């Protein structure tokens, strides 16, 4: 057994998950637990843990896997980091050579390089060559204290300064993947990626510099913002600007303020609202939303008014709603961005705007009111239809109806129209959400086979000959199971999963987490009972299968086998005729 398998089999997945504050309740079946999913907001539990298989699966948001996947997903760390963490917390010594993280040396070097870059940029800004940048920041109302707090800096325009410092300490290969240096086209070395730009260090959640945003200071310098490329440290879709400073305050306030840019964060934060983070221009990803959600499930979205309705903003808002966040929208009048607003109107005015920010659906209804003629029935209905698709996406049924009625009321739309509209909608949704149902005997059979070597030995040789398997919803899972059995290398759940498509893996999860009462010690008996009832259930296909096998045996010249099968066929045909009469 390799170390990963050894670790997985010695770590208790139930205890590990509970250790993260997830309350798990035992269900009726041995080794099955159910709780509220830590990865999405829900009121009724759909997060399943199977202690026997050492797997988890959420039927609400679809996440699932083994204990390593759980730790990776929840802590948002790499496979090796999760491995190390689990080994440490469970007192399992890691084999040194084999399992030392091949990336950890590189990551260590990259962290060091980014630290050096940040201090170089910052020193530039404070030094004699930083006058221009300091003036620029002063014009934007950024104080020297804010410059220090946010570690702002400026990149030397020569394109050589940082490079010279890094070259002495780090290998060319490391430079190349750092995101801080660019290779010359003629191959004669490197130059600095960032030149003459105002530099905003970007930190990971634990506060280490992992990348930079570089803003052009002169008009005409393109692009306006140049960011670090994706590196081993910096993954754009994972990072929120300022989260490492904001997470405590977000926890305390119970909500986060989401703005668009670095300057907005600095302005809003400095005005005393420490729970502010920025998406930095791109639409939010679910990873970013979950990063916020670890600290609060409410958020105020405060984008520039000119972009509040733009595609990226709407996508971000939709992502927040999909992840179960309660979203409010803060729109500032007069096309002012948050940074300008707090400077001009002051912190108190911003606070009162924050407190009065309408819930997303009311804000949307207000937009509808402006867009359509609310004096006519048609206009009001159009307005409602404008909001309805967003309401449709609320996953909780009761909440969906409550919001729909609320919005209909606000727009003056007849309640009956709303009900009709949503009755139609939910039918469509049912259709989309339909996953293939696995019949009970199929679930029981598969579970017995997964859970017991004895059941596999007793049943698989017969079952694999049966044509009825071809009509199983889970036929691909069975086929994979048969193939593994033939290999004779012993059964491992991960091997089985490895042979399946995503859709079949999903089916397998459905089965593994189905609330079937299964007694481990009676698994073989149970499986044989299933086999017998399958044979009785479907004599016709078994007869057909026998005919095929007889032909095959004759073709192969195996007459003995052909005779045996013919007798079996005869017995069955007689039984079937007697049934019919
Ligand atoms: Zn979930």
- Tell me the per-residue pLDDT of 399-438, one tens digit each, with 9 for 90 and over: 888 888 888 888 988 877 777 777 665 554 444 444 567 8
More confident position, 346 or 453: 346
Ligand 1 geometric centre to CA of 402 (Å): 23
For 557, residues 6+ apart whose C-beta sits below 8 A from its C-beta are none
Ligand 1 geometric centre to CA of 37 (Å): 5
Classify each residue of 527-557 as buried b or exposed e, where b means 16 or more C-beta atoms within 10 Å of its C-beta: bbebbeebbeebeebbbebbeebbeebeeee
The answer on pLDDT for 267 being more than 60 is yes
Percent of the chain with pLDDT over 70: 90
Q: Find out whether the peptide bond into 292 is cis, omega within 30 degrees of 0.
A: no
Ligand 1 geometric centre to CA of 281 (Å): 27
Ligand 1 geometric centre to CA of 64 (Å): 9
Mean local confidence (pLDDT), 481-509? 77
100 — pLDDT class (breaks 50, 70, 90)? low
C-alpha angle 381-382-386 in degrees, rounded to nearest 5: 115
The answer on pLDDT for 179 being more than 90 is yes
Of the listed ranges 65-69, 88-92, 110-114, 278-282, the least confidently predicted one is: 278-282
Ligand 1 geometric centre to CA of 40 (Å): 5
**pLDDT the model gives residue 578:** 56
- What whole-number distance in Å separates Cα of residue 256 and Cα of residue 301? 8
- How much is the mean pLDDT over the chain? 84
Ligand 1 geometric centre to CA of 473 (Å): 24
533 three-state secondary structure:
helix
Ligand 1 geometric centre to CA of 513 (Å): 14
Ligand 1 geometric centre to CA of 251 (Å): 21
- What whole-number distance in Å separates Cα of residue 369 and Cα of residue 362? 10
**pLDDT the model gives residue 433:** 44
253 — pLDDT class (breaks 50, 70, 90)? very high
**pLDDT the model gives residue 417:** 77
Ligand 1 geometric centre to CA of 158 (Å): 50
The answer on pLDDT for 260 being more than 70 is yes
Ligand 1 geometric centre to CA of 39 (Å): 5
pTM to 2 decimal places: 0.62
Ligand 1 geometric centre to CA of 44 (Å): 11
For 218, residues 6+ apart whose C-beta sits below 8 A from its C-beta are none
The answer on pLDDT for 475 being more than 80 is yes
The answer on pLDDT for 359 being more than 80 is yes
């Amino acid at each position: 057994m390799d170390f990963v398998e050894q670790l997985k089999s010695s770590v208790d997945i139930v205890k590990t998950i509970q250790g993260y504050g997830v309350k798990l309740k035992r269900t009726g079946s041995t080794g099955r637990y159910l709780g509220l999913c830590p990865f999405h907001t829900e009121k009724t539990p759909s997060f399943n843990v199977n202690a026997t298989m050492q797997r988890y699966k959420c039927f609400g948001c679809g996440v699932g896997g083994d204990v390593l996947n759980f730790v990776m997903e929840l802590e948002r760390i790499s496979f090796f980091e999760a491995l190390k963490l689990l080994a440490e917390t469970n007192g399992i010594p890691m084999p040194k050579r084999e399992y030392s993280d091949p990336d950890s040396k590189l990551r260590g070097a990259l962290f060091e390089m980014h630290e050096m870059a940040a201090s170089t940029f910052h020193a530039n800004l404070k030094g004699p060559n930083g006058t221009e940048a300091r003036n620029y920041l002063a014009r934007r109302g950024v104080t020297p204290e804010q410059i220090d707090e946010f570690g702002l800096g400026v990149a030397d325009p020569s394109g050589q300064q940082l490079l010279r410092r890094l070259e002495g300490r780090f290998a060319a290969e490391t430079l190349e993947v750092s995101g801080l240096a660019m290779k010359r086209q003629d191959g004669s070395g490197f130059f600095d990626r960032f030149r003459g730009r105002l530099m905003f260090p970007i930190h990971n959640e634990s506060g280490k510099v992992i990348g930079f945003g570089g803003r052009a200071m002169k008009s005409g310098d393109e692009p306006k913002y140049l960011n670090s490329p994706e590196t081993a440290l910096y993954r754009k879709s994972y990072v929120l600007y300022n989260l490492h400073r904001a997470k405590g305050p977000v926890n305390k306030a119970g909500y986060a303020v989401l703005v668009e840019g670095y300057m907005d964060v600095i302005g809003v934060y400095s005005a005393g609202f420490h729970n502010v983070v920025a998406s930095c221009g791109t639409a939010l990803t679910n990873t970013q939303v979950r990063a916020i959600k670890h600290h609060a499930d409410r958020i105020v979205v405060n984008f520039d008014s000119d972009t509040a309705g733009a595609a990226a903003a709407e996508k971000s808002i939709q992502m927040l709603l999909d992840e179960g966040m309660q979203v409010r929208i803060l729109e500032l009048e007069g096309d002012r961005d948050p940074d300008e607003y707090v400077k001009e109107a002051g912190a108190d005015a911003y606070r009162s705007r924050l407190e009065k920010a309408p819930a997303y659906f009311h804000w949307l209804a207000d937009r509808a009111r402006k867009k359509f003629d609310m004096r006519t029935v048609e206009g009001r209905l159009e307005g409602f239809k404008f909001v309805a698709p967003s309401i449709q996406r609320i996953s909780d049924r009761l909440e969906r109806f409550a919001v729909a009625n609320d919005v209909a009321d606000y727009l003056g739309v007849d309640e009956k129209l709303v009900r009709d509209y949503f009755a139609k909608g939910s039918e469509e949704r049912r259709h989309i959400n339909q996953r293939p149902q696995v019949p009970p005997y199929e679930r029981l059979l598969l579970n017995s086979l997964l859970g017991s070597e004895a059941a596999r030995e007793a049943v698989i040789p017969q079952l694999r000959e049966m044509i009825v398997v071809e009509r199983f919803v889970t036929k691909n899972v069975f086929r994979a199971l048969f193939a593994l059995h033939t290999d004779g290398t012993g059964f491992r759940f991960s091997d089985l999963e490895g042979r399946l498509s995503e859709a079949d893996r999903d089916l397998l999860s459905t089965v593994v987490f189905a609330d079937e009462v299964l007694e481990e010690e009676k698994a073989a008996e149970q499986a044989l009972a299933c086999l017998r009832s399958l044979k009785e259930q479907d004599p016709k296909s078994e007869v057909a299968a026998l005919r095929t096998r007889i032909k095959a045996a004759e073709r192969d010249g195996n007459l003995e086998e052909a005779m045996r099968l013919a007798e079996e066929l005869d017995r069955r045909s007689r039984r079937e005729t007697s049934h019919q009469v």
